[in-house]
Amino acid sequence: MSKTPPKPGTPDDGMEDYHRIADTVGGIPNLRGKDNLIQLAFAAGGTGLGAGAGWMLDIGPRLNLSAQVGLVIGAFLGLIASVFLSGFVLMVIGWVRESKRRKAGRGR
C-alpha cells in the first residue's frame, strides 16, 4: 500500500526535521521567514542606531578624521552588536519553540 506524499506546509513535509537540524547543528541556512525577518530588523536597526551614535559622538573628528568616517565606524560597530543580539534573541525563540514542540509530543 503506497502512502500519498504529504502536502507542503504540513509538519510531515521534511521541513520540520530540516529546521530542527539547522537550529541544533548550525552551519546550514535557516529557511524560516520569521527568523530571517527578525535578524533583518535587528541588523538594520542596529546599523542605523550605530551610525547615529557614531555621528552624535563625533567619533571621526576625535580620531582626526571626517564626520562621515565616524558615521561608518558607528554603523559597523552597531551592525556587529546587533547581529550578536539578534542571535541571542533567536536562541531564546528556539528554546521556546522546542519547549512547545516537546509539550505537543513532537519532540525527538
Region 15-43 average pLDDT: 84
Rounded to whole angstroms, the Cα distance separating 32 from 36 reads 6
Model confidence band, residue 29 (pLDDT cutoffs 50, 70, 90)? confident
pLDDT in tens, 38-95: 999 999 999 999 999 999 999 888 889 898 999 999 999 999 999 999 999 998 998 8
The predicted structure's pLDDT at residue 14: 73
pTM, two decimal places: 0.73
* Residue, of 16 and 73, whose pLDDT is higher: 73
